[in-house]
Amino acid sequence: MRMVSSKVPTLSRVLAVFGLMTALGAGSAVAAGPFADFGGVWHGAGRASDVHGKTEALTCKSSNSPSSDGIALSLSLVCASDSYRVDFHSDLFTDGQALRGTWTETTRSASGEISGEIGRDVINATTTAPGFSASVYIRVVSGRRLDVVLNAQGTSINHVQVSMRR
């Protein structure tokens, strides 16, 4: 498996991971199973903060397709700020509790792994790549809103928070 290049800018890594987590929370009950509420198309906005307290606005669009049994999710997400664009794709799998998968960010040729837990309307996960890790909390609220919080280590961008709606 190809891992994140050390040449990838740190905000790009954070936005790529954020993209994965935002896409995970997109909601539609078309499929059955643990990923059923995480499929569909969502649009949202939020903020990214660096270690010095500087913040930047983000906008995101996510399109996600759970498998018919709801145990796998294919996702695509584009996030943009004033300075960056991230084009993110991932394939995720779950046994109903544990979550794992891989992600790629195509504009910067970056990739990594994700693992964690999935529950009813909540995902707690950790993303990893060489020199980078992030904890992510995702909550689907009433099936209509997705809240995502990411706290990163190994990058100057250390906090991302976004809210998306159908």
Q: What six digits make up the tokens of 118?
A: 């999935």
Q: What is the pLDDT of residues 59-113, one digit of tens each?
A: 988 888 889 888 998 877 777 888 776 677 888 899 989 999 997 777 666 788 9
**Domains of the chain by residue range:** 10-165
Question: Measured between alpha carbons, how far is 106 from 164 in angstroms, rounded to an integer?
Answer: 22
Question: Measured between alpha carbons, how far is 29 from 66 in angstroms, rounded to an integer?
Answer: 9
- DSSP output for 69-126: TSSEEEEEEEEE-SS-EEEEEEEEEESSSEEEEEEEETTTTEEEEEEEEEETTEEEEE
CB atoms within 10 A of CB 120: 7
| Residues 43-50, mean pLDDT to the nearest whole number | 89
- For the domain covering 10-165, report its CATH number: 2.40.128.20
The pTM score is 0.75
> Do residues 78 and 88 lie in contact, with contact meaning Cβ atoms separated by under 8 Å?
yes
> Do residues 118 and 48 lie in contact, with contact meaning Cβ atoms separated by under 8 Å?
no
pLDDT at residue number 28: 40
